[in-house]
Copies of this chain bind each other. A is one copy, B any other.
Amino acid sequence: MPAAPPTADTSPAHLLKIQEVAAETGLTTRAIRYYEELGLLEPAARSEGAYRLYDTSDLERLRYIKELRDEAGFSLAAIGQLLEDETARERNRERFRASHDPRERRAILEDARARVDRQIETLEAKATRLGTMIEAARDRRTHLDRHLAELDGGPDPHPDRKRAR
A-side residues, CB < 8 A to B, are 67-68, 71-74, 102, 105-106, 109-110, 112-113, 116-117, 119-120, 123-124, 126-127, 129-134, 137-138, 140-141, 144-145, 147-148, 151-152
Given contacts A106-B148, A120-B138, A123-B137, 14 further A-B contacts (CB under 8 A): A71-B126, A71-B129, A71-B130, A73-B73, A105-B151, A110-B148, A112-B144, A113-B148, A116-B137, A117-B141, A124-B134, A127-B130, A127-B134, A130-B130
A116 to B109, CA, bound (A): 46
Please give, as numbers and ranges, the residues of chain B lying within 8 Å of A116 by CB-CB distance: 137, 140-141, 144
A152 to B103, CA, bound (A): 9
Please give, as numbers and ranges, the residues of chain B lying within 8 Å of A67 by CB-CB distance: 129, 133
- Min distance, Cβ A97 to any Cβ of chain B, angstroms: 9
- Min distance, Cβ A10 to any Cβ of chain B, angstroms: 15
Could you list 16 examples of A-B contacts with CB < 8 Å?
A71-B129, A71-B132, A71-B133, A72-B133, A73-B73, A102-B151, A106-B151, A106-B152, A109-B151, A110-B148, A112-B144, A113-B141, A116-B144, A120-B134, A123-B137, A126-B130
